[in-house]
Amino acid sequence: MNQDGLVNTADAQLFTDFNIGKITAFPACQKKSPCSQSGDVNGNTFVNQRDVLMIQDYILQKITLSADQKIRADVNPASGNGVIDIFDTLSLQDYIQGKQSSLPVCTAPPSITVFSPNGGEQWPIGSTQTIRWNTASKGGTVSIAILDYNKTTGDTNFTPYTITDSTNNNSYTWVVPSTFGGASSIGNNYKLLIGGYFWTDPGADRPGLIQDTSDAPFSIVAQ
């Protein structure tokens, strides 16, 4: 079924997944690594169940792996973490069975960077300002908030004020309000926060939060 040369429960699982609609097709042929040699632990140019079994045997201390094999086995998370554990086997299995189109280590998360305000600005109440940021991949939605570092909330050293949810197109026009949360907005210790769930971590089965803040505080001043 998954053409790894083994007829075992993995094939039965594929049948089950197909019958209940979790997958829409069976792996048609032997898979290659989605990047360099990641996942191909035994180095035979194919990524299949034998590689998963090698990682499992390594975790159970039945076998040892060479330094290169350890690098190829560390497919999770996106940065590779130098730890070989069950999450690597689960990600590798998802890739082999077609549930994921790549391996986490082969899918670098996009970054987001706040450009303006990025620190030092003095924005008057009532003025129209352009909040700017940059993402490698546009699309989706970002949440924009102002963090007031002069006020703590719970166990955080800032108080957030939500501005809006905006299309992730790298800019948003903002009229600086006179109040935040019912109090004057005049202050000298604000940072802008931009964050969104516009990337799905293939190893986590859920969208991962990508966010950034101003590098240094900015101020809101009187009109």
Q: Report how far residue 168's alpha carbon sits from residue 137's, in angstroms, rounded to the nearest whole number.
A: 9
State in angstroms the smallest separation of the CB of 92 from Ca ion.
10
Q: Least CB distance from residue 9 to Ca ion, whole Å?
A: 19
Query: Which residues in the 183-212 window bind Ca ion by CB under 5 A?
Result: 212
98, two tokens? 């077609």
Quick note: the x/- pattern for Ca ion over 101-140, rule CB under 5 A, is -------------x--------------------------
* Per-residue x/- track, 5-44, Ca ion (CB under 5 A): -----------------------------------x-x-x
Q: What angle do CA 43, 6, 70 make, to 5 degrees?
A: 30
* Calpha distance 88→104 (Å, rounded): 9
Contacting residue, 74, 104, 135, 190, with Ca ion by CB under 5 A: 74
Find, among 203, 172, 196, 190, the residue nearest to 111 by Cα: 196
Q: Does 94 bind Ca ion (CB under 5 A)?
A: no
Positive/negative CA dihedral, 87, 93, 95, 97 = negative
Q: What angle do CA 141, 145, 149 make, to 5 degrees?
A: 150
Give the total of residues touching Ca ion (CB under 5 A): 13
CB of 105 to Ca ion, least distance (A): 8
Point out which residues bind Ca ion (CB under 5 A). 40, 42, 44, 46, 51, 74, 76, 81, 83, 88, 114, 212, 215
